[in-house]
Chains A and B, each alone.
Chain A
Amino acid sequence: MLVDAIRAEGFRLSKNRNALFWSLVFVPVISVAIGALTNFVLKGSSTKLLVNGKAPDQVKLMLAGGPLDLGQALVDAAGNFANPLVLLFVLIGAATIYAGDYRWETWRLISARNSRSNLLLAKLAVVAGMALAAMALMLVAGLAENLIKAGVFERRLTFSMTGEMAGRFLAFTGLSWLRILQFTMMGLLAAVVTRSLLAALFIPLVFGVGQFFTTPIGMQMGIMPDAWLAVLVNPGAAADAVKAMIEGGPGAAALPDGLILKAWLSLALWTFAPLAAALAWFPRQDLSKE
């Protein structure tokens, strides 16, 4: 029954070209286009930048024409999958999936013949798949961008992937996926409670922006960033701590004792609490008023 619901939800998404374009295609295409443009602009200004010596180190390195390691580029890309741009556009698709049946008044067509929890979990499964697809396309875009960079700056391409790098790649990918799902689950709860597509999109976004302010406000109130409360209310900082741990090196060594445990709890709380609330609320909801 859950399988039926997942297949149906996936089929419906496959026919929604707008949602697919904005959620999956737009950001990778724009990333490649902006990346290529930046590379061409930098190449055009390279003589000037090198002569006056004002170029940042990263740019100097790029202009120097050393080898470009695609393996390292993959690992870096995985660590950056859950960037605000990807989040925003995946949320557009997620909001369409979560709130679509309210918007199109189609709950009455499907709710009698499957359990409501199955219907909700099917949406979640499709969004989770969509997030993975978005990440895969971002990876392809990252590779394309690096190929363009190598061509523009005449850099040699190399590929190294040690076991440690592969582990870091998988860990970053998992963390990014969890982070994207975390936002979409807030969208799920918002959709179920408000029956509104806009709420399903904007409530998680407002929450994401709000996280930037929790740490400074907490410090004003005398709550240190590694305190339980500070970590629990700020899953963004929790994700950064876990990312630093995955990266290793001095950043990981500088993490306060016990912070990683708090960070995982924070991530789990913000991921599963909205889902549990939506699953508790939805079966009691009056679906005659869509």
Chain B
Amino acid sequence: MSTVIETRGLTKTYGAVRALDGLDLSIPRGGVYGVLGPNGAGKSTLFRILLGLIRASDGSAMVMGGGVGDVSAMRRMGSMIETPRFPPFMTARQVLRWLALEHGVGAEVDIPAWLERVGLTEAADRKVKGFSVGMLQRLGVAAALMSKPELVILDEPTSGMDPPGIQEMRALIRSLADDDGVTVVLASHQLLEVQRVCDRVAIMHKGRLVREGAVSELTASGERLRLSVNPLDQVAAILGARGARDGAAILADVPRAEAPALIKALVEAGIEIDEARWVGADLESVFMTETGHQETPHAG
């Protein structure tokens, strides 16, 4: 599988702070790839290094087969880092014209079509100094995409957008990957959105990669049996480290094949079972577990 981004031992220090700590990451070509992590995990630092805005302290990074700063490789990439800002005296249309010239695709870009695609047709001739954060995000996305890059890096692309805007952005990102064959790498704190739009994710914590894989695999691996039982303490003692309290119930970390035997054992031990059902892990719970924000399953 070919990769569009490859980092080896990538490290960035700011004084005593290690924003990236020997990050090894391979992002495959195609699909939508999410980079997740709490604040300070190193996501933005990673993107800034990949875009050549800052230099790594150690390690290496390759983008589109070239080193960071290899302009011919970088020209095949589009990006939007944080809330984009633009010269305040320009209109949305002028901003796209300016960036098309800057990117060397001035004559090829259909600016009205891009404005329409990001929902800014009516605001096309308004100065950007009056734009809301959501409108700036939309314009930033159009700027990142209009040169038809093979790889797009989007940092918090739905930040500041209203729910319909988020839905439109999700559809746009999916269509880029599915219809245009663009590899989209995005960072977002909206885990539900990430779960809906991404094919694979990397979870970063304290500058390191702590988990990586297809969203379907990550969420499937967290599937647990939720038992509403009485007495709860006795079940917790039976399950030991494989159980975690969830309100008045307990979550049992057992494979599906072992579930009938477990239930039989509980019934034989005189436990009342009101309900037993499978609950899938969502990306949020995987994220919380991997980043140490939630206790791992244990006897409560």
Contacts and interface: CB of A to CB of B under 8 A. Distances in A.
Interface in B56-100: 71, 74-75, 77, 79, 81, 84-90, 94, 97-99
B237 interface: no
B97 A115 contact: no
A287 B79 contact: no
B94 A113 contact: no
B86 A106 contact: yes
Contact of B89 (A4, A7, A15, A110): A15
A1 B71 CA distance: 10
Contacts of A111: 51-53
Given A15-B90, A17-B89, A287 B54 contact: yes
A159 interface: no
A284 B74 CA distance: 18
Contacts of A115: 71
Interface string B99-127: 10111101000000000000000000000
A113 B52 CA distance: 10
Nearest to A10: B101
Contacts of A286: 53-55
B143 interface: yes
A286 B54 CA distance: 5
B74 A113 contact: yes
The SS class assigned to the B binding surface is loop
B102 A112 contact: no
Interface string A102-116: 001111111111110
A17 to B, nearest CB: 7
B84 A109 contact: yes
A110 B102 contact: yes
The SS class assigned to the A binding surface is helix
B8 interface: no
Q: Which of A5, A112, A114 has the most CB of B within 10 A?
A: A112
Nearest to A18: B89
A8 interface: yes
Contact of B94 (A5, A15, A100, A105): A15
Contacts of A15: 87, 89-90, 94, 98
Given A8-B102, A112-B79, A114-B102, A104 B86 contact: yes
A244 B143 CA distance: 53
Given A15-B89, A104-B87, A109 B99 contact: yes
B48 interface: yes
A12 interface: yes
Contact of A110 (B48, B55, B90, B99): B99
A113 B71 CA distance: 6
Given A112-B51, A112-B79, A106 B85 contact: yes
How big is chain A's contact interface, by range? 20 to 34
A8 B96 CA distance: 11
Contacts of A110: 99, 102
Interface in A256-274: none
Q: Which of B79, B81, B101, B147 has the most CB of A within 10 A?
A: B101
Contact of B85 (A12, A17, A18, A105): A105
A83 interface: no
Contacts of B85: 104-106
A114 B75 CA distance: 8
Q: Which of B88, B99, B102 has the most CB of A within 10 A?
A: B102
A2 to B, nearest CB: 11
A7 B106 CA distance: 10
Contacts of A12: 87, 90, 98
Interface in A6-52: 7-8, 11-12, 15-18
Nearest to B69: A115
Interface in B20-50: 44, 48
Contacts of A106: 85-87
A288 interface: yes
Contact of B87 (A5, A7, A100, A108): A100
B283 to A, nearest CB: 28
Contacts of A1: 71, 104
A108 B99 contact: no
B89 A11 contact: no
Interface of B: 44, 48, 51-55, 71, 74-75, 77, 79, 81, 84-90, 94, 97-99, 101-104, 106, 143, 147
Interface of A: 1, 4-5, 7-8, 11-12, 15-18, 100, 104-115, 284, 286-288
Given A104-B86, A109-B99, A110-B102, 11 more contacts: A12-B98, A15-B94, A15-B98, A104-B87, A106-B85, A109-B86, A109-B143, A111-B53, A112-B51, A113-B104, A114-B102
17 contacts: A1-B71, A4-B102, A4-B103, A8-B99, A15-B98, A16-B89, A18-B89, A104-B87, A105-B85, A108-B51, A108-B81, A109-B99, A109-B102, A112-B52, A113-B74, A113-B102, A288-B48
